[in-house]
Chain A
């Protein structure tokens, strides 16, 4: 499982600092021409790469986590937490095939732990203000929330994030077969909840 997690050079996603325009005020710590006191040029470059990654992935991960957790508030915290941890190990994580997958998993685990810790484990039964687009399938939110967490995560990553089965497996640190199994069972439940016929 973990062996799969080691970065593969050909698949490494690069978040170059040069591709991102940095707002000078908000990101003073990045955009300053001179490093801040105590901050080396290497640190500045590292921060810039992290910033690029953050900008590219944070919103999508937040939304995926919101759906996975059915709890936008918790997802917001979890996203922050996941990225904070990613920052701590950014030099290593940025070389991964899919750093966003790492952040997703860490965030999800953190959220689940938080829920467990606070004894509010009824993740699937609580749907908290997940915005519903009236043009979308109205029953989707409820149907998705009714899925067990592990199924929901796989569905969200596969169909919202459009990650491949291998990427989902890598992100969740489960075998590919497990992803396929969960995907199949999750879709089956969704079909049932939404009144769809299998294969329809």
Chain B
């Protein structure tokens, strides 16, 4: 350390000494940490009801706050469970079953409501119910024992022992969950519900035809079996199963996976099989797509390093030769026997093969492929326009990065609108991308514990340097996946918008009971889900009624631009309508606001897929009247006089409107949670709580029942009119 460095150290120390001491305290911090484990039981416009162990609390959410953050600060009603004679560990971190839908006052427990796997990761799976809330179903995090769903399963008696670190859950299966261990493939369908007995065994490694003499096998059928007594982990360690893709292909849900049988003598692949499983309501059919084998001792072997379904029923396979060289093959639909051109064909005999394809993904339209390639030790990410006439346009998403980072780009996928989203650990809540950012998340799969890296790129081309790739909270809590939202509405001509076919407006007006047109998730501004340490909750809406007379998106802070939609009092209606059209998925050219809110379907929770933007019959643009835009969770109503906006109301569907500010009373909170008079949340396993808001008396009465202990209910009330959410009393529950 030279003199300058010594003086620098001294100056820094003096500077630090002049700073005020840190004002935090450990209790608050610990409470924040603990509250990450709260299970959110229902979410409304401004908050959510949460239960932790035997406690219950109200979590207030601000515009861009994450529930876990807010929970720590604004948890208001907390009921501690009664002491029990048996030692009680720290509060059960596993969230309780999250009921359907978030808005209605009474939410029944419905384990069959799960419909969509929404998160990926090693050892983590989430299933979304029809109310757009989530329940974790698989957990093998850290040193916790693996378990499968909290409904009836326990640490000591899990129905399925999933290999730690080997669980893969894909997020594009509408109707259930497919997870794989090293030796087995499981399926939980939505129809079956999430119970401890529900996982069905789709396949095990020993079900695969491993006869080296076979080069093509198809049509093998395997009936799924209940997984309760099956122990596929006993299968030979010389085989491994890898789940690559789950997608809707030709109207069927199909799983793409591979099984590699290794030679126990040298650990090299002896048989490599790409398989498909077609999921049906009561059965699943598996078949071999490709089988390749080698004699023991052969120097050349390959295995699959990735595979994806193509929209036409074909598939892309990523193959690696001897674990090093790699190439991509595109195959036509079964029966076509057509090998299609791919960016990187298999090298001809005698040609050097110094390229390794770490990951590849095809977009939903089958028009682009993203490739993470490592050529001569230099990894880079590029996208290609897939033209089956062999025309390939290469677009680099990254310049080369340092060789030491090779392997980071191990998982790629196309997200909404053609943007790249990496699968894997996903994002920390604080890393959540804003609307106009495209996020690339990668995994460093070289490590025993995969590490997520995050970088921001702008489509279609941007340079990513390693400096832009930050470890995503290594060793941190669970991460539940990345989500990229639509571009800001005032940037409609984004490349993905140009490249992806736009959603066509419906040809006819919708009627109650008719299937609602479903816009892509990228069209939905409300569909914000924020991970917490315990699960994923929905902040019911991103839109708040601002005090400035504007309704605006909460994807960015109120003082930030651009916003995703906005309508302000005094604004020219044409401008506001254009933005709202874009944000809500209606066609600006046809301009189709509803003038009658009664046309709103009473129950949109049954809509399939992502939130459904509703586009009514096109009508003539008016200069006066009431115009309403609505998606499944948010309704914005604009009053217009003489072409000028005179009133803006933005409300969550099914809930009362309440201006957002931090002076909300608990009564307003309850209103915002979705019920004017009462809220009831029941969890069959642990607790039930009823909050009743008496609008006349201005009080909130609560009844808490611990269904485990069957102790007498705890009842009480507080003044809803004076108690602000951030200074409500803590209510202690004691058996005495």
Where the two chains meet, the residues of A that have a C-beta atom closer than 8 Å to any C-beta of B are 1-3, 5, 26-30, 36-43, 46-47, 50-51, 54-55, 58-64, 66-67, 72, 76, 79-81, 83-90, 92-93, 102, 105-106, 109-110, 112-114, 116-119, 130-133, 135-137, 140-141, 144, 150, 155-156, 159-160, 162, 173, 175, 187, 190-191, 196, 199-200
Contact = CB atoms under 8 A, between A and B. Distances in A.
Given A2-B474, A38-B88, 11 more contacts: A2-B449, A46-B90, A54-B29, A79-B22, A79-B24, A84-B32, A88-B477, A90-B33, A136-B15, A159-B9, A187-B8
Contact of B434 (A66, A117, A131): A117
Contacts of B557: 118
B662 interface: no
A88 B27 contact: no
25 contacts: A3-B447, A26-B27, A27-B26, A30-B26, A37-B732, A38-B91, A40-B90, A47-B26, A59-B22, A60-B16, A63-B22, A67-B15, A72-B20, A76-B23, A76-B24, A81-B69, A83-B24, A83-B26, A85-B33, A109-B471, A131-B19, A133-B14, A162-B9, A187-B8, A191-B4
A53 B81 CA distance: 28
Contacts of A58: 22, 24, 26
B175 interface: no
Q: What does DSSP make chain B's interface, helix, strand, loop or mixed? A: loop
B18 interface: yes
Given A50-B30, A196-B4, A136 B11 contact: yes
A93 B447 CA distance: 18
A199 B6 CA distance: 12
B349 interface: no
B565 interface: no
B404 A175 contact: yes
Contacts of B477: 85, 88-89
Task: Kindly list the 4 A-B residue pairs having the minimum CB-CB distance in the complex, ordered from nearest.
Answer: A87-B33, A133-B18, A62-B22, A84-B32
A171 to B, nearest CB: 11
Q: What does DSSP make chain A's interface, helix, strand, loop or mixed? A: helix
Contact of B19 (A5, A39, A130): A130
A161 to B, nearest CB: 9
A80 B9 contact: no
B379 interface: no
B16 A67 contact: yes
Given A87-B30, A113-B431, A190 B560 contact: no
B4 A76 contact: no
Interface of B: 2-5, 7-9, 11-30, 32-34, 36-37, 53-54, 64, 69, 72, 80-83, 87-91, 142-143, 404, 428, 430-434, 444, 447-449, 451, 456, 467, 470-477, 533, 556-557, 560, 732-734
Contact of A5 (B12, B475, B732): B475
Contacts of B72: 84
B8 A117 contact: no
A51 B26 contact: yes
Contacts of A114: 430
Contacts, number: 210
A62 B22 CA distance: 6
B649 to A, nearest CB: 26
A59 B28 CA distance: 15
A64 to B, nearest CB: 8
Nearest to B72: A84
A30 to B, nearest CB: 8
Contact of A88 (B20, B36, B81): B36
Contact of B14 (A54, A109, A135): A135
A105 B460 CA distance: 31
B90 A39 contact: yes
Given A39-B90, A190-B8, A84 B475 contact: no
A139 to B, nearest CB: 10
Contacts of B732: 37
Contacts of A119: 434, 556, 560
A91 to B, nearest CB: 8
Contacts of A36: 80
B89 A131 contact: no
A112 B470 contact: yes
Contacts of B434: 117, 119
Contacts of B448: 2
B685 to A, nearest CB: 16
